[in-house]
Amino acid sequence: MKITSLNVNNFKNSEKERIEFKDGINIIFGDNAAGKTNLLEAIFLFAAGKSFRGSKDKNFVRFGQDYAFTEIVFENKSGNCKLGIKLFKNAKKQIFREGVQISKLSEYLGLFRAVIFTPDHLNLVKGSPEFRRRFIDLAICQSFPRYVATASEYNRILAQKNALLKNRIDSEDLLEVYNERLSFLAAHITSNRLKFLKQLQPEAKAFQHDMTNGAEELSLDYISQAGEGFESTDDIKNRYLDIYKSKKEQEKYKGVTLFGPHKDDFTIFINKKNARLFASQGQQRSAVLSLKLAEGELSNKLTGEYPVFLLDDILSELDSKRKKYILDTTYGKQVIITGCDKEFFSGLESRNKIYVENGRACFYT
């Protein structure tokens, strides 16, 4: 899989730009706040349907404008494809496939896939559980687009239940309806996450083993609010029904839903020790690198082709050994790298270097 071009109109600090990409390594360089990461964000929208920064749709629109538009042309194993997204300040985004508007995210998610790696990901080991949940969910939705609809409905029902609890509305029947639906959705989210981590672990383990010359073994353990040792998706659903029933008064007192996959987490172990508690900074960085590379490897095994790798100013955060490892591992795949210093990239074999200034692609070298 490779992206051949990106068009952006009124997207953040870019007025109107067209950028072309080539096979192998593509380098986007420029000063801080020049708009390099914005371009990666515009690309990643087509992989996950949302920003890897957590930006809202209205924040994509350039100041003083009513809407933003971004479009990519890419090649996958099925041939050439063109996708577009129109984003508004006060309206729902519009999605286009080959110039024709479509109504569902699931109609385009999975067509284009990308692995994003930013300096923030270096906190994956020690960061908050929310960060790790987001890592799992963004990866799953690219290979299993229907997961997006399940997660979206869960968040919608969760918000409705929380409003009911917060406002102290006395409606046992409605609360029961919410709990029934949440249990069903929670079971499917949990089941998908467990399946994904089970598939991701051997890939990450292999990278960690290779990177450390066999000195470190990486493993993952999903921590569910519903417990462990699940027999089936129905088993998970029934456990959540029991939890919501037994903890109903506690949730009513707190005014919020206390249990569900929105509270789940996973633990990263190195040599059977909790990496968050015992790993050095170097070990943590190796673990994160293994997880991100494993994400790309698993995408290839599930779909039959590698995703595009988006490295946002990450090489400057890695030592020479880890920088070489990620470049060697992604060799032969399309990689788009951002950074501030052109000289930093002088040793890289790239046919395409793009200088960005104030949201504009000023020249190619």
Domain ranges of the chain: 1-113+307-365
Whether pTM exceeds 0.75 = yes
For residue 344, give both structure tokens.
């930093």
Residue 35: name the closest of 10, 71, 67, 4 by CA: 10
Q: What is the pLDDT of residue 352?
A: 87
Distance CA 304, CA 157 (A): 35
Q: 3-state class of 240 per DSSP? A: helix
Q: What is the pLDDT of residue 363?
A: 65
Q: What is the pLDDT of residue 346?
A: 67
The string of DSSP letters for 82-109 reads EEEEEEESSS--EEEETTEEES-GGGTB
For residue 169, give both structure tokens.
């509305």
- Which value, in Å, is the radius of gyration of the alpha carbons in the chain? 22
On whether the CB atoms of residues 262 and 275 are closer than 8 A, the answer is no
From first to last of its 365 residues, the chain has per-residue pLDDT tens of 999 999 999 999 999 999 999 999 999 988 888 889 999 999 999 999 888 888 888 999 999 999 999 999 999 998 999 999 999 999 999 999 999 999 887 788 889 999 999 988 988 999 999 999 999 999 999 888 889 999 999 999 999 999 999 998 889 999 999 999 999 999 999 999 999 999 999 999 999 999 999 999 999 999 999 999 999 999 999 999 999 999 999 999 999 999 999 999 999 999 999 999 999 999 999 999 999 999 999 999 999 999 999 999 888 888 889 989 999 999 999 999 998 866 667 677 777 888 898 888 876 66
Distance CA 88, CA 56 (A): 10
On whether the CB atoms of residues 43 and 32 are closer than 8 A, the answer is no
1-113+307-365 classified as CATH 3.30.450.30: no
**Which neighbouring-strand residues pair with 22?**
none
The string of DSSP letters for 311-339 reads EES-GGGS-HHHHHHHHHHTTTS-EEEEE
Q: Is 96 exposed, middle or buried (0-12, 13-18, 19+ CB in 10 A)?
A: middle
Q: What is the pLDDT of residue 342?
A: 67
Distance CA 91, CA 139 (A): 27
For residue 328, give both structure tokens.
């060697």
For residue 173, give both structure tokens.
């029947």
Alpha helices in 35-145 (DSSP H): 36-48, 129-143
Please count the CA atoms within 13 angstroms of the CA of 194 that sit on its side-chain side: 19
Alpha helices in the chain (DSSP H): 36-48, 129-143, 146-166, 172-211, 233-246, 248-254, 275-278, 281-303, 320-329
Q: What is the pLDDT of residue 344?
A: 67
